[in-house]
Amino acid sequence: MRKLRIAFLARSFSPQTRSYIPLVIRALEELGAVVDIINPAEGVTDLSNVRVEHDLYVLKQQSDLPFSLAGALHAQGAAIVNPYPVSLALRDKIVMSRILQAAGVPTPATYVTSHPDELAPLLEAGPLIVKPYQGTGGHGIRIIRSAAELADVPASKDPVLAQRYHPPQGPDRKMCSIGGRIFGVKKVFPRRTEAEKQGEPFSPTPELCEIARRCGQAFGIDLYGVDIIESDGTPYVVDMNSIPGFKSVPDAPLRLAKYFHAAAERAARGQPLFESAVPTEAVSTEVVR
């Protein structure tokens, strides 16, 4: 059989990088795949050369240019993990939150506005947390308790997402799925030290596993991360990511390499990208595949 070709839409990695992607690539090569990194941030890309030349593309980089190229490849029928429409939905907290809500996932009440000062009446029921609608890594997150704090939210042409703030009991429960297998790690927020960034793996309760699975089903995917907080004994999903860090997962590079290799094999055979059963009533299954 010919060798599988897999491309990562990602940045370049220095030899000192702490990213797991180079380890995944090495493991894929050991499995016999040919792997390329496509980093459009370097040099000039002639769009007429953007065509499907790989069995599978991995959209790891969430910045604009790799994302747009993924869209251009998707339009030409490329197999992408995660599929372009899903990655797009997960990159936008407005779309993501509504899809999770509609799937019955427990999420905090969520609002969106172009004028943060108009959120003031919502403060009567308690504090809010505002987030950039396309934010990552905790950047731009603020807890808002008063109209004065609202007035301090920097003006922006972008919409602002506001959620009911549920004071977390303990650290975030960050859950991730690789091919439907669920892993959990506890991490405080915000994280400063290396140990805090690493977090502490834990065995998630069946309830947390079920919530995490429902998030995946809502988008028809089985490779993702979700951030869950627990407040007053109730879990809330506050965030979902397409391809998170997977730092705490044992043997993550090998697991991911096997996952991508199997996905590329299926794509090469013209089969669906995802192996795990995703219920047909999943909100976006028809749209995203």
Ligand X SMILES: Nc1ncnc2c1ncn2[C@@H]1O[C@H](COP(=O)(O)OP(=O)(O)O)[C@@H](O)[C@H]1O
Least distance to ligand X from the beta carbon of 263, Å?
25
Least distance to ligand X from the beta carbon of 22, Å?
24
Least distance to ligand X from the beta carbon of 185, Å?
12
Residues 133 and 161: beta-carbon distance below 8 Å: yes
Applying CB under 5 A, among 239, 244, 253, 284 the residue interacting with Mg ion is 239
Applying CB under 6 A, among 166, 213, 214, 261 the residue interacting with ligand X is 166
Residues 159 and 114: beta-carbon distance below 8 Å: yes
Applying CB under 5 A, among 92, 227, 265, 275 the residue interacting with Mg ion is 227
Please identify the residue of the shown chain whose CB is closest to the bound Mg ion.
239
Among residues 150, 165, 175, which one has the least CA distance to residue 107? 165
Instruction: Choose between 27 and 103: whose C-beta lies nearer to ligand X.
Output: 103
State the Cα–Cα distance between residues 251 and 23, nearest whole angstrom.
10
State the Cα–Cα distance between residues 129 and 227, nearest whole angstrom.
15
Applying CB under 6 A, among 106, 159, 168, 201 the residue interacting with ligand X is 168
Q: Compute how many other C-beta atoms are within 10 angstroms of the C-beta atom of residue 198.
A: 14
Instruction: Choose between 55 and 172: whose C-beta lies nearer to Mg ion.
Output: 172
Site for Mg ion in 145-204 (CB under 5 A): none
Among residues 274, 244, 249, 277, which one has the least CA distance to residue 259? 274
Binding flag, residue 238, ligand X (CB under 6 A): yes
Binding-site partner at residue 68 among Mg ion, ligand X, none, CB < 5 to 8 Å by type? none
Binding flag, residue 55, Mg ion (CB under 5 A): no
Q: Per-residue DSSP letters for 55-88?
A: SEEEE---SHHHHHHHHHHHHTT--EES-HHHHH
Q: Which stretch binds ligand X (CB under 6 A): 45-53, 81-89, 127-135, 256-264?
A: 127-135
Least distance to ligand X from the beta carbon of 268, Å?
33
**What would the two tokens of residue 234 be?**
């109730």
Instruction: Choose between 32 and 138: whose C-beta lies nearer to ligand X.
Output: 138
Cis bond before residue 82 (omega within 30° of 0): yes
Q: Give CA separation, 35 vs 63, 71, 210, 224, 245, in Å.
A: 21, 20, 34, 22, 20
Residue ranges in 199-277 assigned as alpha helix (H)? 206-219, 252-268
Least distance to ligand X from the beta carbon of 137, Å?
5
Instruction: Choose between 97 and 217: whose C-beta lies nearer to ligand X.
Output: 97
Applying CB under 6 A, among 15, 121, 137, 206 the residue interacting with ligand X is 137
Half-sphere exposure of residue 60: CA atoms within 13 angstroms, side-chain side: 24
Least distance to ligand X from the beta carbon of 164, Å?
6
Residue ranges that bind ligand X, judged by CB under 6 A: 108, 129, 131, 135-139, 141, 163-166, 168, 172, 189, 227, 229, 238-239
